[in-house]
Amino acid sequence: MTPGLQTTNRVDRSRSHRVLRWLLVRLGGAAFVLWAVATLTFFAIRLIPGDPAEAVLGGPGSQASQETLDQVRRDYGLDLPLGVQYLNALGRLLTGDLGTSYALKVPVADLLSAQLGGTLILAFSALLVAWASALALSLWSTGGGRIAGSVGQAIELTAAALPHFWLATVLIAIFSSALGWLPPVSTGGVLGLILPTVTLAIPLAGFLAQVMRETMLDTLDAPFIVSARARGESEGGIRLRHALRHASLPAISLSGWALGYLISGAVVVETIFARPGLGRTLLQAVTLRDVPIVTGVVLLVALVYIVMTILTDAASRLADPRLRTAEGER
Amino acid sequence: MHSPSRRPARRALTAIAAASGLALLLTGCQPATESASSTPVAGGTLTYASGDAEPTCLDPHVGGNYPQALLAGQFLDSLVSRNSEGEIIPWLATKWSVSDDGLTWDFTLKDDVSFTDGTPFDADAVKVNVEHLKDPATESSTGYLALGKVESVTAISDTVAQFTLNAPDSALLESLSMPWLAIESPAGIARGMEENCQAPIGTGPFVVDDWVKQDHVSLVRNEDYNSPPADAQHDGKAYLEAIEWRFIPDSASRYAALQAGQVDILDNAQPDTIAAAEKTTTLAHIDAPRPGASNRIELNAGAAPFNDPAVREAFIRAVDVNDGIESLFFGSAKRSYSPLSSAESVGYSDESLFTTDLDAANALLDTAGWTARDADGFRVKDGERLTLDFPVSTNQSIPAEQSLFEQIQATAKQAGFDVQLSLLDLSSWYGVLAENDYDLVSAPYTKVGPDVLRILYHSDGIVPAPSGYFANLSQVSDPQLDDLLTRASEISDDAERADLYEQAQKIILEGFHILPLYDQQNHFLLGTQVKGARSLPTVSTPTFYDTWLANN
Do B161 and B34 share a structural domain?
Answer: yes
Q: What is the pTM of this model?
A: 0.85
* Low pLDDT (below 70) residues in chain B: 1-37, 552
Contact in structure between B523 and B269 (CB atoms under 8 Å): yes
Is A251 part of any domain? yes
Q: What percent of chain A is helix, strand and coil (3-state, nearest 5)?
A: 80, 0, 20
Do A123 and A88 share a structural domain?
Answer: no
Task: Look at A61 and B467 and tell me if their CB atoms are within 8 Å.
Answer: yes
Contact in structure between A155 and B12 (CB atoms under 8 Å): yes
Do A268 and A206 share a structural domain?
Answer: yes
Instruction: Give me the number of domains chain B comprises.
Output: 2
Separation in Å, CA B229 to CA A102, B363, B524: 36, 55, 22
3-state secondary structure A34-100: HHHHHHHHHHHHHHCCCCHHHHHCCCCCCCCCHHHHHHHHHHCCCCCCHHHHHHHHHHHHHCCCCCE
CATH assignment at residue B426:
3.10.105.10
Do B220 and B160 share a structural domain?
Answer: yes
pLDDT one-digit tens code per residue, A201-213:
999 999 888 888 8
CATH assignment at residue A224:
1.10.3720.10
Is B338 part of any domain? yes
Measured in angstroms, the CA of A186 and the nearest CA of chain B are apart by: 9
Is B13 part of any domain? no
Do A223 and A76 share a structural domain?
Answer: no
Last residue of a domain, one of A70, A97, A124: A97
What is the distance between the alpha carbons of residues B123 and A95, in angstroms, rounded to a whole number? 49
Question: What pLDDT, on a 0 to 100 scale, did the predictor assign at position A325?
Answer: 62
CB under 8 Å to A123, separation ≥6 — which residues? A200, A259, A262, A263, A266
Is B2 part of any domain? no
- What residues in A contact B136, CB-CB < 8 Å? 64-65, 67-68, 71
Is B351 part of any domain? yes
Do A316 and A257 share a structural domain?
Answer: yes
What is the distance between the alpha carbons of residues A43 and B173, in angstroms, rounded to a whole number? 46
CB under 8 Å to B149, separation ≥6 — which residues? B165, B166, B167, B168, B169, B172
Q: What is the DSSP letter of B327?
A: H
Do A301 and A276 share a structural domain?
Answer: yes
Q: Which among A60, A72, A179 is the nearest to B430, CB-wise?
A: A60
- What residues in B contact A56, CB-CB < 8 Å? 139
What is the distance between the alpha carbons of residues A177 and B26, in angstroms, rounded to a whole number? 7
Do B146 and B135 share a structural domain?
Answer: yes
Domain carrying residue A249 = 102-329
Task: Look at B262 and A64 and tell me if their CB atoms are within 8 Å.
Answer: no
What is the distance between the alpha carbons of residues B273 and B325, in angstroms, rounded to a whole number? 16
- What residues in A contact B2, CB-CB < 8 Å? 140, 144
Do A317 and A249 share a structural domain?
Answer: yes
Is A7 part of any domain? no
Distance of CA B156 to the CA centre of its chain: 35
Question: What pLDDT, on a 0 to 100 scale, did the predictor assign at position A99?
Answer: 86
Separation in Å, CA B339 to CA A27, A226, B139, B336, B486: 62, 82, 29, 8, 17
Contact in structure between B516 and B490 (CB atoms under 8 Å): no
Task: Look at A50 and B141 and tell me if their CB atoms are within 8 Å.
Answer: no
Task: Look at B214 and A69 and tell me if their CB atoms are within 8 Å.
Answer: no
Do B349 and B384 share a structural domain?
Answer: yes
Q: Which among B136, B256, B431 is the nearest to A65, CB-wise?
A: B136
pLDDT one-digit tens code per residue, A58-115:
666 667 777 777 877 888 888 888 889 889 888 888 888 888 888 887 889 998 998 8
Question: What pLDDT, on a 0 to 100 scale, did the predictor assign at position B458?
Answer: 96
Do B454 and B534 share a structural domain?
Answer: no
CB under 8 Å to B26, separation ≥6 — which residues? A173, A177, A178, B259, B276
Question: What pLDDT, on a 0 to 100 scale, did the predictor assign at position A123?
Answer: 92
Domain carrying residue B155 = 25-288+522-549
Is A285 part of any domain? yes
What is the distance between the alpha carbons of residues B109 and B125, in angstroms, rounded to a whole number? 11
Measured in angstroms, the CA of A249 and the nearest CA of chain B are apart by: 21
Do A132 and A32 share a structural domain?
Answer: no
Q: B455: closest CA among B482, B491, B432, B431?
A: B482
Do A185 and A42 share a structural domain?
Answer: no
Res A126 pLDDT > 50: yes
Question: What pLDDT, on a 0 to 100 scale, did the predictor assign at position B309?
Answer: 96
CATH assignment at residue B201:
3.40.190.10
Do A176 and A55 share a structural domain?
Answer: no
Res A235 pLDDT > 80: no
- What residues in B contact A177, CB-CB < 8 Å? 22, 25-26, 256, 259-260
Beta bridge pairs of residue B284: B526
Do A274 and A160 share a structural domain?
Answer: yes
Do B273 and B359 share a structural domain?
Answer: no
Do B99 and B187 share a structural domain?
Answer: yes
Question: What pLDDT, on a 0 to 100 scale, did the predictor assign at position A101?
Answer: 86
Do B479 and B429 share a structural domain?
Answer: yes
Do B183 and B55 share a structural domain?
Answer: yes
Do B282 and B404 share a structural domain?
Answer: no
What is the distance between the alpha carbons of residues B536 and B73, in angstroms, rounded to a whole number? 9
Last residue of a domain, one of A63, A97, A131: A97
pLDDT one-digit tens code per residue, A25-56:
888 888 898 999 989 988 887 777 667 777 77
Task: Look at B65 and A58 and tell me if their CB atoms are within 8 Å.
Answer: yes
The CB density around residue A258, as the number of other CB atoms within 10 Å, is 23
Question: Does the predicted interface ipTM exceed a cut of 0.90?
Answer: no
Do A325 and A181 share a structural domain?
Answer: yes
Question: What pLDDT, on a 0 to 100 scale, did the predictor assign at position B49?
Answer: 96
Q: For residue A158, give the H/E element and its range.
A: helix A145-161
Q: What is the DSSP string of A161-218?
A: H--HHHHHHHHIIIIIIIS--S-SS--SSSHHHHHHHHHHHHHHHHHHHHHHHHHHHH
Count H helices and E strands in chain B, helices first. Answer: 18, 25
Last residue of a domain, one of A68, A97, A126: A97
**Phi–psi pair at B447, nearest 5 degrees:** -160, 150
Contact in structure between B205 and B91 (CB atoms under 8 Å): no
Contact in structure between B14 and A174 (CB atoms under 8 Å): yes
Question: What pLDDT, on a 0 to 100 scale, did the predictor assign at position B517?
Answer: 97
Do B544 and B485 share a structural domain?
Answer: no
What is the distance between the alpha carbons of residues B526 and B265, in angstroms, rounded to a whole number? 4
Is B12 part of any domain? no
Do B230 and B110 share a structural domain?
Answer: yes
Is A10 part of any domain? no
Task: Look at A185 and B8 and tell me if their CB atoms are within 8 Å.
Answer: no
**Which residue of chain A is at minimal alpha-carbon distance from B464?**
A63
CB under 8 Å to A111, separation ≥6 — which residues? A101, A104, A281, A293, A296, B213
Q: What is the DSSP letter of B223?
A: T
Is B20 part of any domain? no
Q: A53: closest CA among A37, A41, A65, A43?
A: A65
Is A6 part of any domain? no
Q: Which among A62, A143, A180 is the nearest to B469, CB-wise?
A: A62
Q: B288: closest CA among B274, B276, B309?
A: B274
Do A149 and A91 share a structural domain?
Answer: no
Is B83 part of any domain? yes
**Which residue of chain B is at minimal alpha-carbon distance from A101?**
B56
Measured in angstroms, the CA of A227 and the nearest CA of chain B are apart by: 23
Measured in angstroms, the CA of B379 and the nearest CA of chain A are apart by: 32
Is B16 part of any domain? no
Separation in Å, CA B427 to CA A59, A61, A289, B381: 8, 8, 8, 33
Is A158 part of any domain? yes
Is A125 part of any domain? yes
Instruction: Give me the number of domains chain A comprises.
Output: 2
Return the minimum-mean-pLDDT range out of A115-124, A126-135, A220-229, B210-219. Answer: A220-229
Is A16 part of any domain? no
3-state secondary structure of B506: helix
